[in-house]
Every structure is written in C-alpha cells, then in structure tokens.
Amino acid sequence: MTALLVGVGSYVSAGILSLLFSRYRFWFSLLGWAGALTGASFGVSSFLGSGPLVGTLGRWGILGIEIVIDQTTLLFSGLVVILNIFTLVYLRGSKKGVFYCLYNFLLATTFSIAFSHDLFNLYVTIEFMSLVSILLIGYERKAYQIYAGAKYLIISSLAMSLYLIGLGLVYRAGGSLGISELARTVEGGTDLSISLGLCLMLTGLAVKGGVFLFSMWLPDAHSYSDTVVSALLSGMAIKSGLIGIIRVSEMLDWSQLLLVLGALTGIAGAIFALVSRKPKKILAHSTISQVGYILIGIGTGTPAGVLAASLHLFFHGLFKALLFLSVGAAGVGADDIDRARNLSVPLTSKVGLVVGSVSIMAIPPFNKYFSKTMLVEQVNQEWAWFAMLAIGLGTALYTLRLDWALIFEARTDWAGKNDFVVVVFALAVVLSSLLAWVILGSPEMVQLLSLHHLATYLVIPVVGGFALLLFKKKLSEISPPDFPFSLENSLVSLFTGFLLIELVLFVL
C-alpha cells in the first residue's frame, strides 16, 4: 500500500526540480506524471488483487497514518493523473518554473488526499492544497485575482480552524484519528459525542468542497484565475473537500443532512449559473451546482450511492476541466455572452464545448449519464428525486444558453488559436464512459440503459431548450448579484450553514 507514496514523492520532486532547474520544467513535470501513473497503477493492481483495503502508511501499525485503497481512491487518483497530462500539454512551457512547482505541489497534495484515511492527515493535506491554490489563483497578480485569493485564504483558514476544533472534540471522545478506528468506536455506542465534533469538521470540509452557503469564495476564485488554474481547481482541488466528506460520512449516517445540503447546493448553483453572463462565471457556478449531485450521492448512504458519487466526481472533473480549457483556449472567459456576436471562437474550442455540454447535460452515451442514472436508482426519497430533476433542468438551461452564445452566435475562427489538445481531451472525455462499463459490469449497465431513463434524459434538454427560447429575453435583463460573494457575507453565510447543520441534525 505504501507504493502509493511513489505518486506523491514523484510529484513533490518534480515540483522542486522544476523550480531549481526551470529550463527543464516541462520534462521534470512529465517525469512526475509518469511516477504518479506508476503509483496509481500500483493502487489499481492492489485493488484488483485484494479488493478495498485499509492499512497504515509504512510499518507503524496502529501508531501510523491510516490509508485506504478503494474505488474512490482509484477514481480520484485517476482523475489527478488524467487532468495532469492534458493540462501539462496544454501549458507547453508557457509559464515560469515557479508555476510548475506550485502546479506539481497541487497535484501531489490532491494525490495524497485520494488515499488518506486519517483525519489529521486530511487536515494537513487540505490546508496545503489551499495555500498552493491561492498562490496559483494570484499568480498573474491582477488585483482581482489577489482579492479572490485573499478571500479564499481567509475563509478557508477559518474553516480549517473549525475543522481542528471538531477534531479536538472527536479525539477527546473517540481517542483516535484513523477513520476506521473511529468507526469502530462509533459502533461501540459513543455516537453522539463523536457526531458533535464531526459537525464542525463537516463545516470545514464543506467550505473546501464547494457546498452552497459554505464556499461562497468559489465563484470569484474559479472565474478570476488563469485557465489551467481554473480547470484544475474546479475539476480537482475542490473535490478534495468532497473526498473528505465521503471519508467522514463513513463513520456516521448523515443521509438526511447531506440530501438537504445537496439539493440546496444543486439548485442554488444552477440558479446563479443561469443568471450569470460571463462564461467562466457560469462554469464556476455550475461547479457548485454539480457538487449537489455528489452530496446527494453520498447522502444515499448505500455503497452503490457512494460509488455513484465518486464516479460523478470523476466525470465532473473531466468535463468541467474540458469546458474551462475550451473557453480559456478561445480567450472568451470574461466576455459577456449577450454580446457573443462580436466574438470569435476557434473550431477546436467549439468541439470541446459541444462534448463538454452534452456530457454535463447527461445525454445518453456520454459519461455523466451513467453516474447520474446510478444516483437516481439509489435515491429513495421522492423530494430528492424532484430536486435532482430541477438541477438537471437548470443545468440544461444554462448549458444551452452558454452553447447558443459561444457555438452558434460567435463566429468560427478557422485559422487562429486552434489548440488540438482540447480535441484530444474531448475524445478522452467521450471515451471515459467506457470506464463506467468496466466498473459496473454489463448487467448493471443494461439496467442503467433502460428506456425510461433514456427518455428522461433526452426530454430534459428539449424542455430546457424550449424554456430557454421563452425566457431568453428575460434572462438577459437580469444581472447576477455580487453581494452574497463578498468576504463579509460569505463568512456570515458560512455560519448560517453551520446553524443549518445543527438544525437539521439535532432539531428536525
């Protein structure tokens, strides 16, 4: 199991080397990628050999750091490796050595989060992730980037303080830091004492994970930063908070709470995405909206539901990064989509946008269809099902609005700025649906491809398209409010979210 360290070690070394010998930064980063690929394949072979496994890093026994290899680990580390190679080729040495150093550090810490199963190790790695992220956000030193970075830093530092307070309570009552050790204690009957601390920890992780009310820093940070950074943050970095929530929810049954948070996050994110006007802002809000699905998946509480959430996390990372890269390669991330007639978008970006949009709308053979159908199969509550339908409709609306502007209205730039990495990446996103086949096996796949699911997911975009035709004029009159996302109000909404958790868990 310790072989997974190869991935982290090679990323860290690649980061340091590309800083010290910045001439060869691309090649060092490529070597880092190769090392991570090796580490991830060690993980895969271990998983195929002996199934899900919980162990310790090294030979320390109970005293060491607990790690885990399960489907979530493999999917997340696979996501890191895939995003790494495409963003690396997309960068092609366009940045300085320092950028590559931070880039590799970000990959190292996310790779480490994939297999971490220890509450304090999660704290350290997530904290490192946020410090690297803010330097990447502010890398180009535009004032708005610096502001977004500072906001992220302050909110996340507060959140991690709450996490640490929760960790103190959990350690006091449970006496351990390893998640499976604590789960054993919970079975022994000290449920309440640990769940009080875990509430605080959940708050901290939700701030990192892009949950609505908690992470109001996200739209600014993800839309103001550079293309590759946005792709990595949206596709990969916020997922580390969600991985943390997946791990923490192994200890307790939190289905009601997570379903409520998921529905709230999904619907609110979709509404904000619908009224935003800049492509990158839309994509950033859409990230929040998609996090809703993942939370609902974790909230089902069944192993299949958590698998669906992990699969969705993987697929979302891919298509969201693709959308960010396509928009960024065209250089239209900060333009107004109501004035798209003046824009020109290269053909490759349009291809990427088409593939990304059909994926995000969950149109059948594309990847999100499978994870979303799995989710729907697992959800029992009727209201959660309707919430998912509403999120799906919202997703169709804002995606079609974005597509209408950037694919049909904008001119096609045949000659200039074509970037074929985007097309190859799009191909990879298309092929990734095969992975669902590999993981689920064919009987389940046939079940997922049943007629009523197919019909539902074909009807939603059509309904969305008609609704868009009706309301397009109305939508372009609305401009999105800024005040919920100021530093002060995001802090207030963080504590409001904490109050919500308390209410759902202990009053209802």
Partner 1 sequence: MGKYSVSLKTLYVIFLVIMFGAFTIGALLIVDDTGVSRLGAIYLERSQKFPNISNVVFGVYGMYRFYDTLFELLIFSTAVLGITVFSDLEPSPGSASRRPVESHVVSASASFLYPIIAVFGIYLAFSAHLGPGGGFAGGVISGTGILLLALAKGAEETARNFREDSMKQLEYVVLFLALLVAILGALYPTEVYRDALGTGVITLVNISIAMKVFIGTWAILHFFVKHRGEV
Partner 2 sequence: MSTGVLASAISIIIVCIGVLGLILKRNLLLKLLSLNIVNTATILFFVLVVYSPGDRAPIDPSPGVQYADPLPQALVLTSIVINFGVLALSLLFTMVLVKRYHTLDLIKIEDFVRREFEEEKS
Question: Out of 8, 101, 106, 169, which residue is the one contacting partner 2 (CB under 8 A)?
Answer: 169
| 481 phi/psi in degrees, rounded to 5 | -75, 145
Q: Is 184 in the site for partner 1 (CB under 8 A)?
A: no
Q: Is 196 in the site for partner 2 (CB under 8 A)?
A: no
SS3 413: strand
Looking at the Cβ atoms of 131 and 393, the one nearer to partner 1 is 131
What binding mask, one character per residue, do residues 124-143 give for partner 1 by CB under 8 A, x or -?
xx-xx--xx--x---x-x--
Considering only the stretches 56-64, 353-361, 369-377, 443-451, report the one whose residues sit in contact with partner 1 under the rule CB under 8 A: 56-64
Q: Is 54 in the site for partner 1 (CB under 8 A)?
A: no
SS3 67: strand
Q: Is 337 in the site for partner 1 (CB under 8 A)?
A: no
Question: Could you tell me if 480 and 272 are in contact, meaning their C-beta atoms sit under 8 angstroms apart?
Answer: yes
The one of partner 1, partner 2, none whose footprint includes residue 82, by CB under 5 to 8 A per kind, is none
Considering only the stretches 13-21, 154-162, 265-273, 456-464, report the one whose residues sit in contact with partner 2 under the rule CB under 8 A: 154-162
Minimum Å gap between C-beta 95 and partner 2 is: 19
Question: Could you tell me if 63 and 138 are in contact, meaning their C-beta atoms sit under 8 angstroms apart?
Answer: no
What is the token pair recorded at 197? 């601390």
Looking at the Cβ atoms of 2 and 450, the one nearer to partner 1 is 2
SS3 329: helix
What binding mask, one character per residue, do residues 277-296 give for partner 2 by CB under 8 A, x or -?
-x------------------
Q: Is 482 in the site for partner 2 (CB under 8 A)?
A: yes
Considering only the stretches 151-159, 206-214, 372-380, 415-423, report the one whose residues sit in contact with partner 2 under the rule CB under 8 A: 151-159
Looking at the Cβ atoms of 10 and 130, the one nearer to partner 2 is 130
What is the token pair recorded at 7? 């991935």
For residue 64, the surrounding DSSP H or E stretch is: none
The one of partner 1, partner 2, none whose footprint includes residue 457, by CB under 5 to 8 A per kind, is none
Q: Is 141 in the site for partner 2 (CB under 8 A)?
A: yes
Question: Out of 12, 17, 36, 135, which residue is the one contacting partner 2 (CB under 8 A)?
Answer: 135
Size of the site for partner 1 (CB under 8 A): 56
The one of partner 1, partner 2, none whose footprint includes residue 335, by CB under 5 to 8 A per kind, is partner 2
Map tokens 């939370």 to a residue: 295
Looking at the Cβ atoms of 13 and 381, the one nearer to partner 1 is 13
Q: Residue 369: name the closest of 273, 269, 293 by CA.
A: 293
What binding mask, one character per residue, do residues 86-105 give for partner 1 by CB under 8 A, x or -?
------------x--xx--x
Q: Is 338 in the site for partner 2 (CB under 8 A)?
A: no
Distances from the Cα of 470 to the Cα of 78, 117, 401, 464, 475, angstroms = 41, 49, 12, 10, 10
Q: Is 12 in the site for partner 1 (CB under 8 A)?
A: yes
Question: Could you tell me if 231 and 287 are in contact, meaning their C-beta atoms sit under 8 angstroms apart?
Answer: no
Question: Could you tell me if 352 and 328 are in contact, meaning their C-beta atoms sit under 8 angstroms apart?
Answer: no
Which residues have a Cβ under 8 Å from the Cβ of 10 and sit 6 or more positions away? Answer: 31, 32, 34, 35, 36, 38, 39
The one of partner 1, partner 2, none whose footprint includes residue 150, by CB under 5 to 8 A per kind, is partner 2
Tell me how far apart the alpha carbons of residues 39 and 385 are, in angstroms, rounded to a whole number. Answer: 38
Strands (E), 17-79: 53-56, 66-69
- How many C-beta atoms surround the C-beta of residue 470 within 10 A? 10
Instruction: Say what angle helices 487-502 and 255-275 make with each other, to 10 degrees.
Output: 150
Instruction: Say what angle helices 97-115 and 71-91 make with each other, to 10 degrees.
Output: 170
Tell me how far apart the alpha carbons of residues 329 and 323 are, in angstroms, rounded to a whole number. Answer: 10
For residue 243, the surrounding DSSP H or E stretch is: helix 238-248
Q: Is 180 in the site for partner 1 (CB under 8 A)?
A: no
Looking at the Cβ atoms of 119 and 271, the one nearer to partner 1 is 119
Distances from the Cα of 150 to the Cα of 155, 218, 261, 489, angstroms = 9, 12, 26, 15
Q: Is 127 in the site for partner 2 (CB under 8 A)?
A: yes
Which residues have a Cβ under 8 Å from the Cβ of 458 and sit 6 or more positions away? Answer: 363, 364
Positions that interact with partner 2 (CB under 8 A): 120, 123-124, 127, 131, 134-135, 138, 141-144, 146-147, 149-150, 153-154, 157-158, 160-161, 164-165, 167-169, 171-172, 177, 224, 278, 334-336, 482, 486-488, 491-492, 495
Footprint of partner 1 (CB under 8 A): 2, 5, 9, 12-13, 16, 19-20, 57-60, 62-65, 98, 101-102, 105, 108-109, 112, 120-121, 124-125, 127-128, 131-132, 135, 139, 141, 165, 169, 171-177, 190, 192-193, 196-197, 199-200, 492, 495-496, 498-499, 502
